[in-house]
Chains A and B, each alone.
Chain A
């Protein structure tokens, strides 16, 4: 067929490029034509000589390794073509390629003179035609397989099978048959046909994994680059095949085929039953011609990377090319064209892996360095070299995953925590009301719930708990009481020291002894008969027990002792203070026995003494006794057992007060008070009546004139005395029915029994109102101080007087020593100036009666220094340093001032040297830079410009100093000093700027002096001085702050906080941990009432003395001070300026001795109070609550009140 007008060359070239590289490649045309015989025929027609495709493919007709110079075409051999009518264009009949390897199935080389591109296109169309079936299908397949075998793009390894999917089952079966019959070398070609078929049928197996690596080419005069991508397919014929979608037209030389074969053979065994396809591209376009075996190593590396691995922390470096021939033993051999390839790698900024060069000198060192060449001797080394140090994507993804996981996990944890915290907060907030609701039924649980609220961080829970603990009068329950078990009844339920109580357990005929501190069972004594009464003897050694109607005596101190049964008949027992035992029978006379040794009847009295329900119907006081002899109460003389009076009262219980007042609990629950004089007279009736039918079951007098009355419904505390009886409060404000309230011997604690609950201990007074333990004579008290490390208390008084007390037993202080007027009680009407103490309490300074001041050593109470009066000015001590080495005084002008007038007062610093002669310490000659100039004028010396001309210097004749001639004859100035003292230096070591009415205090470190002076508009100025070098005080900071009339200054023990009280309103606290920047922490430390006179700190507790009251503040959170307790005195002795707290929690207060008169006479008393329960509550309120409750919060209560929170111990 004569050729039609050929298309212009440009069109042929263009069409060829399109058919080879797209868009609209021959493969795509074949795929679109698959299954359509007409389309397939149309495609095949385009390959006919002179057709457009044939003409186009002619532009790429070379076969690798063949001369491209055309020769005279041989005569057409019709037999050489396949069965169809395809004829090769004469111009494309090129010399035949090199002989093919032995092929059993392909006896004839298909189209030996055809160009490579045309041949590939024809092979593809042959596969299409074969897919349609027909008689020549096998030949078509053979012809197609022959092309790719000839194209050297398949390994020569005998591959097995031509696996193909069901959609193309007929061609699959055909290929399988051909494969079975084919020689080993031809099977790869048939396998590729299987891939082609699936690709044409759009059924290419899915990609499982992919490897990609750059490759380098040698393009004769230059280098080239490309990308090799290997894809592991899910299924398909095992083997290494070119990707038919892009590699259809690739032709290569024999060495390339051998390289493929070697690469496939050296691939891991895991790949040998897998189908791997590859494609080679440059700039995204598939290569169509390649030669040489330098890609063998690249294929080997790619296949090694495709092999399944567990972790892929390192991947192939996409900027690392390997170019080397791969040998069957996996060793690498040098490839050709390395310089060109290296140049290309440098241009591409790739690094290169090479086989060791046979002649290293042929490679320029600069090129090797620029290409970052690494040499690998074998495939494994090449793989290692081609991999990244760490797969960036892997790392990035791992980091991202880790980050995401961390974020998610952290978020989840945070959300969980937040949720849990929110739940806890919600629970915690609800615990306070819950505690309030259960307090009347279960005070122990109420405390524990508040403690739990503190543990869970409920806002405001701590002050609530502290307040509860302080105010709480519930002191713990005897949870070990089982079933019906009652205390003995009456005061003698308690051992005389209050440490034990005894109870009766009728069900088991047992007497049990309990420890009141731990509320635990100490001992159980089996009595084997009905026990109806028991009582501790006055000496506490014996427990008298009424068992089976007789008296038994049990030695208490011997834990192994057994009760000794006597013949004394007794249903109830009670000891008289003189040791006689009152045995009460059943409607019999009251018999008194001496039970020391063999019981001996002393006497009897009465006729029908009724046994009491809860308390024995008898009470004793001094030489008097009272007992119930219904319908009367009989008062009798204990010694003579003679009735003194019969009181017509239907009584149920009796009690004598320490003053002899007889309280009679009536059967109608009222209580009468009788003066037991002659004749007895009823003085009062406590008009609190329980519901009808209830009796006043127990009575007891507490300390401070209180009376505890328990009916069968409630218990109350009454204040009795000179005034009308006043009901103070309920003793045990719980909902349970009260049976009795047996007071401890000290009258401060009651054992209260309830209807169905274990008995519990209740304090008659709360900790929040501590009663005075003892009252000491004070005199004109100017200060009080507990000496650290000792049990001693120092009380200073006017005129340099001092008294030392030992308060080891606060109830019985011992007067150790006194100096000064009135045996340490001070000059009557002397100076009211307060004494100041050194931080270590070894020294104190006080004003003397001469208007001067002195420093005393506490040890020996000896005076160590004197600061004389300065002219008209009195010298008032303001502060003493921690070690007593530095004294701060002010000059107080006492004369010539109008009332309310304030005048600036000079503040002097004096060096205190014990036992040394004074040495003149010159004042600072020059002020350090940046410091406030401190005055260096001598005290009392007016400024030079104010001194009248001609007036001699002040020091030559200090004002107020008596003239020498007025001195007693024969005395020297030194002799005027108190004996044993060291006169002060003639001048102070430094003088601070004068201010009016200053408050001065040393910080605990002794190097910091704080001066607070009142401003003029409701403010004050605090100035902190560093006096480490007393001669050169340096201003550290000065702050103005709002405060009404600043009061005294106190420091926390660690010196990091400073408190300035206010005389009229709120006080303030400063954070002075950074002295360069003191910060006002809080300004709401307010007094309960009135003027702050003094402060003392103990741990986190700040105690303020106001007029008439003591205020105790919890300063644990300095930004949120909480008032813990406010209490006043029990009498008219009003608190005033001086107080101190001992480390053991003893509060010593100075109080006006004669009421308001004391304010004019300065006469004071000293009272001691035990505030340790308050301090304990402030220190650790949870522990205090747990101690009261006696146990931790039970799990059941956790579940009830804190659902969703895992129970855990809250008690320390």
Chain B
């Protein structure tokens, strides 16, 4: 081990600062640097202690997407982490999308622009319900997306609902869902707004949530 790398590991400085240095005392840094052991990052939440998303009838629960765990499992600088699953006609894509962000994409092979996909999403900040709106993706399909700030993601999607279900939706859920929708998905919310009266409270909630 070169002296420079040793010092880098020891004091956690330099451009190639290793993971897992911050938060540890100098003594543990010293030993880990000396032995070449990477300390696990202290800020990584313990997924085992995070609550699992509640599963209701008809819900599909995806395997946990854990950025920290995936990073630790990676041997080098990771590629952008992406996992995908297919359940029925739905293709789920969960991926890192930016600083501290995880994106959830749900693709169906039919026009689902008139549908809402409810999802219970558990992150390190708790479990919250979301509504995903579909927008046309390719000539024959639709896609719905969420972009969340989280370290890990537990997703359980339920059966699709018609867009009319928005009437009974919790406004907080709508606000949360609009805020978590990436820009291309906003056209779906715009369409829902356009299909509602001008003074419709749901439409106002959506507009307010869109900024």
A interface list, Cβ under 8 A from B: 5-6, 8-10, 12-14, 16-18, 20-21, 23, 58-62, 65-71, 91, 115, 219-222, 224-226, 281-288, 318-319, 347-349, 392-393, 396
Contact call B98/A69, Cβ cutoff below 8 A: no
Bound Cα distance A347, B97 (Å):
22
**Contact across chains for B187 and A283 when beta carbons are under 8 A apart:** no
Q: In the bound complex, do residue A20 and residue B98 qualify as a contact, i.e. CB atoms below 8 Å apart?
A: yes
In the assembled complex, B197 has its CB within 8 A of some CB on chain A: no
Listed in ascending order, the chain B residues whose CB lies under 8 Å from chain A are 10-13, 22-23, 26, 42-43, 45, 67, 77, 79-80, 82, 84, 91, 93, 95-100, 103, 105, 107, 124-125, 128, 137-139, 141, 143, 145, 149, 176, 179, 182-184, 186-187, 189-190, 193, 206-207, 210-211
A13 touches B13 (CB 8 A): no
Residue from B82, B100, B190 having most chain A Cβ neighbours under 10 A: B100
For residue A385, give the distance in angstroms from its CB to the closest CB of chain B. Answer: 19
Q: Which residue of A lies closest to B125 (CB)?
A: A222
Known: A59-B184, A349-B42; 4 extra A-B contacts, CB below 8 A, are: A115-B183, A221-B176, A225-B100, A285-B96
* Complex Cα gap A169–B187 (Å): 46
How many cross-chain pairs have Cβ atoms below 8 Å apart between A and B? Answer: 129
Interchain CA distance A14-B103 in the complex, whole Å: 10
Give Cα distance in the complex from A568 to B207, angstroms.
150
CA distance in complex: A304, B45 (Å): 33
Whole-angstrom distance between the Cβ of A82 and the nearest chain B Cβ: 23
CA A62 to CA B211, docked complex, whole Å: 10
B170 to chain A minimum Cβ distance, whole angstroms, is 14
Q: Give the residues in chain A near B125, CB-CB below 8 Å.
A: 221-222
Given the contacts A65-B211, A287-B99, A91 and B187 also touching, CB distance less than 8 Å: yes
Name the one of A69, A224, A287, A348 contacting B193, with C-beta atoms under 8 angstroms.
A69
Q: In the complex where A68-B183, A69-B206 touch, is A17 in contact with B99 (Cβ < 8 A)?
A: no
Indicate if the CB atoms of A17 and B43 lie closer than 8 Å: no
Tell whether A224 pairs with B210 under 8 Å between CB atoms, given A9-B105, A21-B98, A348-B43. no
Q: Which 4 A-B pairs have the closest CB atoms?
A: A282-B99, A285-B99, A9-B143, A282-B100
Interface contact B182-A60, CB-CB below 8 Å: yes
* Cβ-defined contact, B184 with A58, below 8 A: yes
A-B contact pairs, 27 of them (CB 8 A): A5-B138, A5-B139, A9-B137, A9-B143, A9-B145, A10-B93, A10-B95, A17-B97, A17-B98, A61-B183, A65-B211, A67-B210, A68-B211, A69-B186, A69-B189, A69-B193, A70-B186, A219-B149, A222-B125, A226-B99, A282-B98, A283-B100, A284-B99, A285-B100, A287-B99, A347-B124, A396-B10
With a cutoff of 8 Å between Cβ atoms, the chain A residues found around residue B124 in the complex are 347
Complex alpha-carbon distance, A1196 and B140, angstroms: 111
Name the residue among A9, A281, A284, A285 with the largest chain B CB count within 10 angstroms: A9
Complex-state Cα separation, A318 to B149, whole angstroms = 22
B interface secondary structure, majority: mixed
Q: A8-B138, A66-B211, A282-B99 known; A224 and B182 CB under 8 Å? A: no
Tell me whether B210 and A68 are in contact (CB under 8 A).
Answer: yes
Shortest CB-to-CB span from A292 to chain B, Å, is 13
User: Min CB distance, B6 to chain A, in Å?
Assistant: 12
- Min Cβ gap B159→A in Å is 21
Question: What is the CB-to-nearest-CB distance from B178 to chain A, in angstroms, rounded to a whole number?
Answer: 8
Flag if B97 contacts A68 (CB, 8 Å): no
A14-B82, A17-B80, A62-B183 known; A318 vs B98 contact (CB < 8 Å): no
A320→B145 CA distance, assembly (Å)? 35
- In Å, the complex CA distance between A66 and B210 comes to 8
Identify the interface centre among B77, B124, B186, B206: most chain A CB within 10 Å of its CB.
Answer: B186
A17 → chain B closest CB, angstroms: 5
Give Cα distance in the complex from A219 to B151, angstroms: 14
Tell me, in angstroms, the Cα distance from A115 to B187 when the chains sit together: 14
| Minimum CB distance partner of B144 in chain A | A9
Q: B103's contact among A6, A13, A285, A287, by CB below 8 Å, is which?
A: A13
Q: Which of B12, B107, B128, B183 contacts A10 (CB 8 A)?
A: B107
Chain A residues with CB under 8 Å of B26's CB are 392, 396
| B residues near A17, Cβ cutoff 8 Å | 80, 95-98
A57 to chain B, nearest CB (A): 10
Residue of A nearest to B67 (CB): A283
Bound CA–CA A348/B45 (angstroms):
9
- Residues in B whose Cβ lies below 8 Å from that of A91: 184, 187
Residue of A nearest to B184 (CB): A59
Given the interface contacts A60-B182, A69-B206, A221-B125, does A319 sit within 8 Å of B99 by beta carbon?
A: no
| Alpha-carbon gap, A69 to B133, bound state (A) | 13
Known contacts A221-B176, A224-B100: A393-B13 contact under CB 8 Å: yes
Residues in B with CB closer than 8 Å to A319 are 22-23
A16 to B97, CA, bound (A): 8
Across-interface contacts of A60 in B (CB, < 8 A): 182-183
* Complex partner residue of A69 from B22, B80, B184, B207, CB under 8 angstroms: B207
Nearest-CB residue, chain B, relative to A282: B99
How far is B179's CA from A393's CA once the two chains are assembled, in angstroms? 42
Residues of B within 8 A of A58 (CB): 183-184
Distance, CA A318 to CA B13, complexed state (A): 10
In the docked arrangement, what's the CA distance between A136 and B42, Å? 52
Residues of B within 8 Å of A349, CB to CB, are 23, 42-43
Question: Which residues of A sit under 8 angstroms from B182, Cβ to Cβ?
Answer: 13, 59-60
A601–B125 alpha-carbon span in the complex (Å): 139
Please report the C-alpha to C-alpha distance between residue A877 and residue B193 in the assembled complex, in whole angstroms: 130
Q: A221-B125, A396-B26 are in contact. Are A68 and B99 (CB under 8 A)?
A: no
Contacts of B23 in A (CB 8 A): 319, 349
Residue of A nearest to B106 (CB): A9
Contact check: which of B79, B97, B141 meets A13 at CB < 8 Å? B97
Q: Find chain A residues with CB under 8 A from B138 CB.
A: 5-6, 8
In the complex, A224→B149 CA distance in Å? 8
How far does the Cβ of A371 sit from chain B's closest Cβ, in whole Å? 14
Specify which chain B residues have a CB less than 8 angstroms from the CB of A23 in the assembled complex: 77, 79-80
Find the residue from B67, B141, B143, B176 having the highest chain A CB count within 10 A: B143
For residue A774, give the distance in angstroms from its CB to the closest CB of chain B.
81
Q: Is the CB of B79 within 8 A of A67?
A: no
Residue contact A281 to B99, C-beta cutoff 8 Å: yes
Set of chain A residues within 8 Å of B103, measured between Cβ atoms: 13
Residues of B within 8 A of A67 (CB): 207, 210-211
Q: Given the complex, which residues of B lie within 8 Å of A282, measured CB to CB? A: 98-100
Kindly report which residue of chain B lies nearest to residue A222, judged by CB atoms.
B125
Nearest chain B residue, comparing its CB with the CB of A12:
B184
Distance between A409 CB and nearest chain B CB, rounded to angstroms: 21
- Bound CA span A281–B101, Å: 12
Q: Which of B45, B125, B179 has the most CB of A within 10 A?
A: B125
Q: B189: which A residues are within 8 A, CB to CB?
A: 69
Report chain B residues within 8 Å CB of A220: 179
A222-B125, A288-B98 known; A10-B187 Cβ under 8 A: no
* Residue among B67, B100, B183, B207 having the largest count of chain A Cβ atoms under 10 Å: B183
